[in-house]
Structure 1
Amino acid sequence: IKPQRTVLMEPSLFLLPADKISQSQSFNVGTAGAKIFLGPASDEFGYTVQQAPNYQDKWLLVGAPWSDNRKGDVYKCPVQGSSNRCDKLNLQDSVTIPDVTGVNTNMSLGLTLAPNHTGHDFLMCGPLWGQQCGDQNFYPGICSKLNPLFQLQPAFSPAIQKCTGLMDIVIVLDGSNSIYPWPPMTEFLLKLIPSLDIGPQSTQVTLAVIQYSDDQKVEFKLNRYTDRSQMLNAASKISQKYGTSTNTFAAISFASKQAFSASNGGRPEAAKVMVVVTDGESHDSYNRDSVIAECDKQGIIRFGIAVLGYYTRNNIDTKNLIQEIKSIASEPTEKHFFNVSEEAVLSTIAGTLGKRIFSIEGTGKGGDSFQMEMSQVGFSAYYSKQQDMMMLGAVGAYAWSGTVVHQKGSVATIFPFSAFEGTLQERNHSSLLGYALTTLTDGSTEYFVAGAPRSNHSGQVIIYTVNPQKQPTIVDTERGKQIGSYFGSVLCSLDVDDDKVTDLLLVGAPMYMNELKKEQGRVYLFSVTKGILSEQGFLNGPSGNENARFGIAISVIPDLDLNGFSDVVVGAPLEDQGKGVIYIYNGYNQGLKKDFSQVPHTTFVFKKYMKNRGFIHISLELKLCMC
């Protein structure tokens, strides 16, 4: 099932002409004369829909997160008038961060659409927007606002990564007679350089190349090239120096004293990295201890690469060569030492070497521990009117444990893993906290709610407040009752009588299985008292004889039955053989009726459109594949 059409109905879903009201007293919703907006199924048109009144007209904003090979985009569709044509806003190439190499190939812009409290400004996010650092891509996600005229505001990415600190790298390359053939040596450079973060912030990484045999030759200094293309061009033109001696330690000493010096472009504040590539034992090993001690004193991190081609061709034992190159490499040796069988395969380790160089400071943490690099901030969003702040879900944070980001103006508060660790109590780090978000209020205090549908496999909902030190305090938590039900993947807070106090929290578990092993879905009701939840049962929905995914979308809608209390609509997108069904539940003075008042049958409206096509719905499968 792929969303491809949006249906506009009154008050928030259907258009109900005034002259038909008298004919529809027994119904909440009329379906005759529904306005239909069509869009490409392959774009997931209709995945998200928001009403968007601007200064003059009424519109729908429709997300199409797979548009343009999953770059994503947003359409605007006119509510008024006879036209049902939707115009694409063509935003995907304009959502960028200055001075950051962005990757928007699969960013899925429009996967999240959220209004602020005025209903005029909208936040849209592309949670799979990537950031390129060297040859690695991170996925911090990106968001941007649309003003009432649908003009794009500056984008932001709270989890943007610091690709590297300042880093000076010197390649010490053996150019003696025994190196044969020479082209693999330059090919190694040409594959290594693209893996380093040189540009667009070109001062981050600088690179120098020194070739040696009997003596040393500076091919280019650290401050010679700060553009990757210029550096690649220079590296491709390096020719073999030749020489009868392999004075490795003289070359290392020269590099440590000269190549890293300020006069040759070295920066005192930069991390110092040296890569030594040689195919033979040195002729000056007597200097080894003093030279390596000097490198350690300067804090130079060293990678040693032994090329065994000459030894193999001449049937020479490689033990001593390997031992010497290991002594050059920094500790731990297993991360800083390489050996290759011959020159021709040297380039095959360039990528791995680049990643290990990058990991020195590439994540800002000096290792392989990922925190917010794959966070996908903007996977969900909810606006807090009381705090004038946007909540953003980051399901990929902390190795898929997830977290929540509070964005107020240009200031982002990212809650650490420790903030929710004790409450989640997970073992497999895959809770996906932040999958869904909402707030609760008792009038004076606002409580934040985050869903974690994979927490301990059964799902969980966490309610918290934030103290003046911007630290979360857990108020309450509820866990799902069935493994795999995705409890907490959908959240909806309900103020039935519009007194600014939350009466109920509705929690969707759309993959809840009934006794027939069908994914019928379930929506749980919780009453709210000072942020504490008390279960009040669940809504009665589909009959249970087919997969329905009931509860995959839940929304509060205006008072349809005119009794003075807000109502709720719940989607079941796979019901009716995948056509999709919505259920309407009426509010009353004590809460929400658990039995639906209507299941609008709209199939006749779409009959002429339905050949090989499906109804709009919000697809859990799409969100799952994002993770």
Structure 2
Amino acid sequence: MERKKRALLPLLLILQGWCIEHSQGFNVGTSGAKIFLGPKIDEFGYTVQQFSNHQGKWLLVGAPWRGYPQNRKGDVYKCAIAGPTTTCDKLNLQKDIDIKNVQNINVNMSLGLTLIRTTKNNGFMTCGPLWAQSCATQYFYPGVCAEVSALFAPQPAFAPALQTCGGPMDIAIVLDGSNSIYPWPPVVTFLVKLLQHLDIGPQQSQVSVIQYGVDPTMEFKMNTHKTRDSIVKAASEIPQRGGSETNTFKAIEYARANAFLPANGGRPGASKVMVVVTDGESHDNSKRNSVIPACEKDGITRFGIAVLGYYIRNNIDSQKLIDEIKSIASSPSDKYYFNVSAEDALQEIAGTLGDRIFNIEGTGTGGEFEMEMSQVGFSAHQTKNEDVLMLGAAGAYGWTGTVVHKTAQKSVIFPKEAFQQILEDKNHSSLLGYSVTTLYSGSTEYFVAGAPRSNHTGQVVVYTLNKQRQPDVRHSQRGDQIGSYFGSVLCPLDVDRDAVTDLLLVGAPMYMSEEKKETGRVYIFAVTDGFLSSQGFLEGSSPLENARFGMAIAAAPDLNLDGFNDVVVGAPLEENGQGAVYIYNGDAKSIRKQSSQKILAMKLDPKLRYFGRSLDASGDLNGDSVPDVSVGSYGNVLQLWSRAVAVVTARVTFTPDRISILSKSCSLGGRMVSCFEATVCFVAEFRPSISVGPAEIKYNMTLDADLQSSRVASRGHFGNSERVVQQDFSVSTTEVCADHQVYVQDTPDLVNSIAVRVDITLQKPDSSPVLDAFSPAAWDFFIPFSKDCGTDEVCYSDLVLSVERETPSGSSLLVSYKNRRLTLSVTVMNRKENSYNTRVTARYSSNLFYSSVTLPSDGTEVKCTSSKDAEIVMCQVGYPALRTDQSVTFEISFEFNLAKLQKEVKVVFEAQSDSSEETPADNMETMMIPVQYETEIILSREANLIVHILDEMDEIINPVKTYDDIGPELTFTLKVSGAVFPVNLVHLNVSLPITTKLGNQLLYITSVEGTPTTDVQCDTQALIDPFNIREKEYTLKFTPESFRGTSHLNCVSAKCQELKCVLKDLNVKSDYNIKVSARIWNETLAKADFQSVILDVNARIETSQPDLLVIAHKHVMVEVTVSKPGAKGDIPVGVIVGSVIGGLLLLALAVAALWKFGFFKRKYHQLQKSEDGAEAEGLQNDGGQA
């Protein structure tokens, strides 16, 4: 267990160093944070601003939904920094929002949605961009703002985009009162509802009503009624006058000529509107071509309403009526023409008609929205010129947006054309003015406006003002992802504090990662004379969760007091909506893209939600000369206190300054060891320099661990028997030191210096001052070894390496399960100066395992260690040094890895040391040995038939109808088993004597089965049941044939066919079977001439790599002896030959015996005498005759 602890220690130290550098909070403290409470339902915390006056220091907090659910008027709270209270006071600013001479609609204005400090009077300003004004039934949303003094006294509200409720309008309503209109009350109801949607008054709208049938009648004049109530009452009492005809154009001409006369209340310059309501085709349609052009000439806008009830009730085609009313209405007809199915339905269109009439007030055209829905105050910014405020109007010009420049004297609303070209807004609703700010370059001020929906990707526009005080676009940048809301947040930053803007940070809080999460981004742009150049971007820590990183960005005036301004970024949806805040520190003229601190809401209060939705870090609120950070969340605002910064420096000195290998002056555990003393010293500088310190630190000193690496085993330890010593220290501006004794252990590395690493951290993470995150918190120092190699302390060795095999070189190895070891003899010799930490490294092929080492006979120490991650074994030879002319021989053994079969083994040996090697060429040797592997596969067979006796009484069936008609069944199984390691592929070929040499059938194969079927595959094409006997009968034709003199019917004496099988992926100790079923063809054997013969089936097995994988026994035979008991026996040739030879020998012996006993002599003499007598007798006879 202790060894495990020590082995893990370097890793823990590395992780500890990483944590110190990357995870520990920097100087924005989380301990002692003041959490202010507010109503969540009111969106308390949506905006936050730090604020100071002579009464104290405060947080101003926007609650734009204050009053919910009854209303969303909104308000601003003030929260006192001093004192223990965590509640805030409502300023009740919504009560003071009142624009004179306008019908104020404050109910949902969302005051507090925008909140900024103003330099004028050292106060602040808040806006309610959803403040509305009412014009009749129409609501406009121009937005409202109000400044508040330093003592929280509200100033008069202002609405730069305040709308005039239209110009004067004279409206003539021409009603069809003929007999066909039925019922009449719905018509009156329609008239009343229409009038209720109009802004009635002497300066607004006037209405005259003309009823007609045969003739028109003016019910009342334009100036008869001065108020809406009066005219509504009068209209509700109009009776139906009736009439047998519908003279519509006569009534229109009457209204045109009379209703708008000054005598009847008509006003010069007022817009003229006529509304015609009828339920039937006119009886005077012939007048249309003169009446309608006259209306056009007089500039009368006309609405035509067709009531189709009469036509529908009587099933009459209404198309002519529709065409006539459309011809009365102004163009386009889809805007000025209405029809209803019945009189009762008229009231359904009254509101729509009223709105359309209202939209043409003062213009007569009803064009697109300009500033009616502008929402001025959606964003705001105080410029350097204390008299100029920038106000964003994101809803202006149909949500294209614009910017308003507000001064004490006037408000300048920039026209749509000012930004039209740069936005290229084609009904994309750019929302220009969603955010606004300024940039500074010397004496030049550049204005910036964000348009997060421009071209769907978002845009930032930089502009100046020309001599006419109109925008002159300087530059623009677009976002790179649709829907990211690039430009919704803007934050200029003067990094080096020279009054020139260095960077513009642009938030894209809805930027989506590849994992489809709204992680958010903050883009960095360098600013040069109003031009923006990309410098990359900032991101949160995880692409796997929604974070909305960049939803709030705030510049901070040098949080860590290093002379550069910093940035705070909110990610309110991180950590499942709890939120987080990131701190980025300035550096020269840019910012570091790695955050120095991440503050999680859950660390402050697990109940917090949307922490980071609003931010401010503009000042010091507790008087310690360090700016503090204020963070808004859902229903809370948190005041975080920044801490002073300490820059600590460490140094280490050693006594003596070198480690002597030969001199061991310290006693440890009863033995003498080398040792040295390490003295560590610390000193600190503080920011700010006044009233700060000391820094309470904890330091670690670690042996054999430097800033780049850490050894697995240390070469030394402190007095606590560990490689690490830890101590608490109080560090001030005066240097303080501590001494530590170090004991050196036996080590293979006596050449490289021992490293001593010093790490520091705070004793308490929340204490102050805090360690500077950008100054070193870890240092390394080194003490070298002293060597016995002359005055230069450099050892020059000359190692010579040789390796030999037990068996002769060049011969291959046959590896079997019982013979798996390879042993090599290694000799290493040193011919020159001491070779320190001598080692022999063997890199071997993957078909070997390192097994063991046999130590030298002379007792020289050899220790071998193999690697778990690579085929390497390293042997330390003669520690600590291989002396001059010393030679060491040892044996190293390997075992074959039967899981990896290769044609050769390769072992590369190399001798190395920590000394300098003069002739490295003889330090390496390579052994390459050919290898074969004995698979130990066994091929065996089983058969159901060994002997087949043909009985003369057996019936020979021909033609053959079934397999049984052929003859007896021969079934044999070939079994492959016993592999000692997996074999990928084995071939098994079976030679089957199918026919005799004359073509008579011997064996008839009926089936072949391999098991397991997935691993055994046989090619049986044209081999099984070739005559298709299972389907039809077969007639055998026999050619007379004799097997006499033939003992075996095999592939030599008969004709064979091959059964080829493949066995795949043979597992260790597994069995694989091939079962062959055949019939012995009785008729061939019964008719052939023989007494006994043997049928031979030959099986052969081989691997797919016979030169690598060897099978010792490759053949097996299946034999069936066939005999005919009733057949005449054969006299073997040998018997005949032997008999002849024996007879000749016996004859020779008999002749010799007779010859010996004179038998042939006596006979010879008798014959000789007989021949002589006969010859004499013949001579006599011849003479007598003569």
TM-score of the aligned structures, taking structure 1 as reference length: 0.86
Q: Deviations over 1:367-416 (max 9, x none)?
A: 34223332222111111123731111122223333222222224222223
Segment drifting more, 26-35 vs 552-561: 26-35
Inter-partner Cα distance in structure 2 for 1:534 and 1:521: 20
Q: 1:617 maps to which residue? A: 612
Change (3 A) 1:314 1:594: closer
Q: 1:277 maps to which residue? A: 277
Q: 2:300 maps to which residue? A: 300
Change (3 A) 1:604 1:310: closer
Q: Does the residue aligned with 1:392 lie in a helix, a strand or coil?
A: strand
Segment drifting more, 423-432 vs 123-132: 423-432
1:424 is displaced (CA, Å) by 2.5
Inter-partner Cα distance in structure 1 for 2:284 and 2:423: 59
Inter-partner Cα distance in structure 1 for 2:100 and 2:485: 37
Which residue identity lines up with residue 206 of structure 1 in the other structure?
Q
Q: 1:77 maps to which residue? A: 79
Segment drifting more, 99-108 vs 61-70: 99-108
Inter-partner Cα distance in structure 2 for 1:557 and 1:483: 30
1:185 is displaced (CA, Å) by 1.0
Q: 1:388 maps to which residue? A: 387
Which residue identity lines up with residue 418 of structure 1 in the other structure?
E
Q: 2:155 maps to which residue? A: 153
Inter-partner Cα distance in structure 2 for 1:140 and 1:598: 41
Q: 1:231 maps to which residue? A: 231
Inter-partner Cα distance in structure 2 for 1:601 and 1:344: 63
Q: 2:108 maps to which residue? A: 106
Q: Does the residue aligned with 1:463 lie in a helix, a strand or coil?
A: strand
Q: Deviations over 1:231-264 (max 9, x none)?
A: 2222222222234444434433332233212122
1:112 is displaced (CA, Å) by 0.7
Q: Deviations over 1:160-207 (max 9, x none)?
A: 3333221100112222333221111111112211222336xx521111
Change (3 A) 1:306 1:601: closer
Which residue identity lines up with residue 535 of structure 2 in the other structure?
Q
Q: Does the residue aligned with 1:355 lie in a helix, a strand or coil?
A: helix
Segment drifting more, 348-357 vs 258-267: 348-357
Conserved in 1, the CA contact under 8 Å of 2:119 and 2:386?
Answer: no
Which residue identity lines up with residue 188 of structure 1 in the other structure?
F
Which residue identity lines up with residue 574 of structure 2 in the other structure?
E
Inter-partner Cα distance in structure 2 for 1:555 and 1:253: 67
Conserved in 2, the CA contact under 8 Å of 1:541 and 1:595?
Answer: no
Q: Does the residue aligned with 1:599 lie in a helix, a strand or coil?
A: strand
Which residue identity lines up with residue 195 of structure 1 in the other structure?
H
Conserved in 2, the CA contact under 8 Å of 1:53 and 1:119?
Answer: no
Change (3 A) 1:365 1:390: farther
Q: 1:117 maps to which residue? A: 119
Q: Percent of pairs identical after alignment?
A: 61
After superposition, where does 1:119-134 map in structure 2 within 5 Å?
120-134=122-136
Inter-partner Cα distance in structure 1 for 2:513 and 2:322: 63
Inter-partner Cα distance in structure 2 for 1:313 and 1:482: 59
Segment drifting more, 87-96 vs 311-320: 311-320
Q: 1:8 maps to which residue? A: none
Change (3 A) 1:577 1:308: closer
Conserved in 2, the CA contact under 8 Å of 1:47 and 1:617?
Answer: no
Q: 2:190 maps to which residue? A: 188
Conserved in 2, the CA contact under 8 Å of 1:130 and 1:137?
Answer: yes
1:323 is displaced (CA, Å) by 4.5
Segment drifting more, 287-296 vs 62-71: 287-296
Inter-partner Cα distance in structure 2 for 1:578 and 1:453: 23
1:313 is displaced (CA, Å) by 3.6
Which residue identity lines up with residue 306 of structure 1 in the other structure?
A
Conserved in 1, the CA contact under 8 Å of 2:248 and 2:282?
Answer: yes
Inter-partner Cα distance in structure 1 for 2:77 and 2:392: 23
Inter-partner Cα distance in structure 2 for 1:53 and 1:580: 28
Q: Does the residue aligned with 1:304 lie in a helix, a strand or coil?
A: strand
Q: Does the residue aligned with 1:143 lie in a helix, a strand or coil?
A: strand
Q: Does the residue aligned with 1:186 lie in a helix, a strand or coil?
A: helix
Q: 1:95 maps to which residue? A: 97
Which residue identity lines up with residue 341 of structure 2 in the other structure?
S
Unaligned 5+ residue runs, structure 2?
Answer: 1-23, 616-631, 633-1186
Q: Deviations over 1:285-305 (max 9, x none)?
A: 555555445433432222232
Which residue identity lines up with residue 527 of structure 1 in the other structure?
A
Segment drifting more, 513-522 vs 67-76: 513-522
Q: 1:242 maps to which residue? A: 242
Inter-partner Cα distance in structure 2 for 1:246 and 1:98: 49
Q: Does the residue aligned with 1:419 lie in a helix, a strand or coil?
A: helix
Change (3 A) 1:315 1:561: closer
The reply on whether 1:252 has 2:247 as its aligned counterpart is no
Change (3 A) 1:220 1:57: farther
1:589 is displaced (CA, Å) by 4.0
Q: Does the residue aligned with 1:382 lie in a helix, a strand or coil?
A: strand
Change (3 A) 1:329 1:482: closer
After superposition, where does 1:193-232 map in structure 2 within 5 Å?
193-198=195-200, 203-232=203-232
Conserved in 2, the CA contact under 8 Å of 1:203 and 1:226?
Answer: no
Structure richer in strand, relative to its length: 2
TM-score of the aligned structures, taking structure 2 as reference length: 0.47
Which residue identity lines up with residue 42 of structure 1 in the other structure?
I
Which residue identity lines up with residue 84 of structure 1 in the other structure?
T
Inter-partner Cα distance in structure 2 for 1:337 and 1:456: 35
The reply on whether 1:68 has 2:105 as its aligned counterpart is no
Which residue identity lines up with residue 366 of structure 1 in the other structure?
T
Q: 1:178 maps to which residue? A: 180
Which residue identity lines up with residue 395 of structure 1 in the other structure?
A
The reply on whether 1:416 has 2:427 as its aligned counterpart is no
Q: Deviations over 1:208-231 (max 9, x none)?
A: 212233444433321222322232
Inter-partner Cα distance in structure 1 for 2:593 and 2:382: 28
Inter-partner Cα distance in structure 2 for 1:78 and 1:537: 39
Q: 1:550 maps to which residue? A: 549
Conserved in 1, the CA contact under 8 Å of 2:580 and 2:599?
Answer: yes
The structure whose RCO (Cα within 8 Å, separation 6+) is larger is 1
Change (3 A) 1:426 1:295: closer
Inter-partner Cα distance in structure 1 for 2:256 and 2:370: 34
Which residue identity lines up with residue 468 of structure 1 in the other structure?
K
Conserved in 2, the CA contact under 8 Å of 1:434 and 1:451?
Answer: yes
1:118 is displaced (CA, Å) by 5.0
Q: 1:346 maps to which residue? A: 346
Conserved in 1, the CA contact under 8 Å of 2:458 and 2:485?
Answer: yes
Inter-partner Cα distance in structure 2 for 1:509 and 1:292: 56
The reply on whether 1:361 has 2:356 as its aligned counterpart is no
Conserved in 2, the CA contact under 8 Å of 1:458 and 1:485?
Answer: yes
Q: 2:431 maps to which residue? A: 432
The reply on whether 1:499 has 2:501 as its aligned counterpart is no
Conserved in 2, the CA contact under 8 Å of 1:128 and 1:376?
Answer: yes
Q: Deviations over 1:472-510 (max 9, x none)?
A: 222222222333332222111112343321122112222
Change (3 A) 1:94 1:423: same
Q: Does the residue aligned with 2:67 lie in a helix, a strand or coil?
A: helix
Inter-partner Cα distance in structure 2 for 1:528 and 1:426: 25
Which residue identity lines up with residue 354 of structure 2 in the other structure?
G
Change (3 A) 1:595 1:285: closer
Conserved in 2, the CA contact under 8 Å of 1:307 and 1:342?
Answer: yes
Q: 2:443 maps to which residue? A: 444
Q: Deviations over 1:575-613 (max 9, x none)?
A: 233221112222344443333222245645425xx2xx5
Conserved in 1, the CA contact under 8 Å of 2:506 and 2:522?
Answer: yes
1:26 is displaced (CA, Å) by 8.3
Conserved in 2, the CA contact under 8 Å of 1:205 and 1:226?
Answer: no
Inter-partner Cα distance in structure 2 for 1:323 and 1:493: 62
Which residue identity lines up with residue 79 of structure 2 in the other structure?
C
Higher alpha-carbon Rg: 2
Q: Does the residue aligned with 2:576 lie in a helix, a strand or coil?
A: coil
Conserved in 1, the CA contact under 8 Å of 2:551 and 2:572?
Answer: yes
1:102 is displaced (CA, Å) by 3.7
Inter-partner Cα distance in structure 1 for 2:28 and 2:319: 83
Q: Does the residue aligned with 1:257 lie in a helix, a strand or coil?
A: helix
- Count of residues in correspondence between the two structures: 590
Q: 1:559 maps to which residue? A: 558
Inter-partner Cα distance in structure 1 for 2:42 and 2:576: 22
Change (3 A) 1:194 1:479: same
Say what the alpha-carbon RMSD is for the aligned residues: 2.8
Conserved in 1, the CA contact under 8 Å of 2:401 and 2:433?
Answer: yes
